[in-house]
Structure 1
């Protein structure tokens, strides 16, 4: 299951980059796949099931931004590949991350969380008879900001 989610996350991340700036780099596939897996694991195993989607998305955006900073320091600053440079944008850190892109990751993270939940749910619905060890899933539901779901 995680391999499938990694491939989906990697592909979606590269598509977002191509749509946003017209090109991508092969390393972004791995970063995107890793981010998608971590978002799913966070949602499945760490955060409470009734946490509002907005807070899940903010936490995921923090994780994505942290991973982008780490990867950016390695591939841009250390290896000099110049995949991206945000040094011209306000509130940037070493040109690798900035507030603007952190804020954009929040709605993208919310969509990713929902997608991850539905993939897991539909996978279970389609294949639980063939794989008896699959964890049972209930239909995804969310609270956007607060309250009980």
Structure 2
């Protein structure tokens, strides 16, 4: 029961974070220009509620991996490789379902270089691996530590130090 409650909380936390990160990324990346009447200098971002589910699922999947010794005993670069691949596959499969099969047209990378089926692209995949996955691993550990008094507290910078040293 405790494990299920933990994952439900993590789903809502990571889903909320994912939606906000997408809004901020669209603002910073200036992807709003010409989007359905939004002015070029507008600070209004946008996202889809489906991104809440995709982000929540990614957070729970990586957090669930992070609960098992076969994952957390691996070197950090291996954890990041597994986590980044998990996010990339979740993006691909959700894109195929939501955009191609259901026709919701939430995102389309077909005009970008190095895209696959218009659902994932190299630039975002690199972000999943190098930025998002380490943060998810760390934040999942911190949620578990502060909410359930399990594990130990540590700094996000430690994750990147281990990554640089290939530990």
TM range (shorter): 0.7 to 0.9
**What secondary structure sits across from 1:112 in the alignment?**
helix
- Give the Cα–Cα distance (whole angstroms) in 2 for the partners of residues 32 and 80 of structure 1: 20
- Give the Cα–Cα distance (whole angstroms) in 2 for the partners of residues 59 and 117 of structure 1: 17
Count residues in correspondence.
137
Moved over 6 A (4+): none
Is residue 2:134 matched to residue 1:79? no
CA contact (8 A) 1:10 1:34 kept: yes
Give the structure 1 partner of residue 7 of structure 2. Answer: 2
* RMSD after superposition: 1.7
Structure 2 unaligned regions, length at least 5 = 1-5, 27-44
Q: Offset of 1:47 from its aligned partner?
A: 3.5
Give the structure 1 partner of residue 142 of structure 2. Answer: 118
Give the structure 1 partner of residue 68 of structure 2. Answer: 45
> RCO greater where, 1 or 2, for CA within 8 Å and sep 6 or more?
1
Is residue 2:81 matched to residue 1:58? yes
Structure 1 unaligned regions, length at least 5 = 126-135
- Give the Cα–Cα distance (whole angstroms) in 1 for the partners of residues 83 and 71 of structure 2: 14
- Give the Cα–Cα distance (whole angstroms) in 2 for the partners of residues 31 and 84 of structure 1: 13
Pick closer, same or farther for the CA change 1:77–1:46 going to 2, 3 Å: farther
Normalised TM-score (structure 2): 0.75
- Give the Cα–Cα distance (whole angstroms) in 2 for the partners of residues 71 and 100 of structure 1: 18
**What secondary structure sits across from 1:6 in the alignment?**
helix
- Give the Cα–Cα distance (whole angstroms) in 1 for the partners of residues 121 and 104 of structure 2: 19
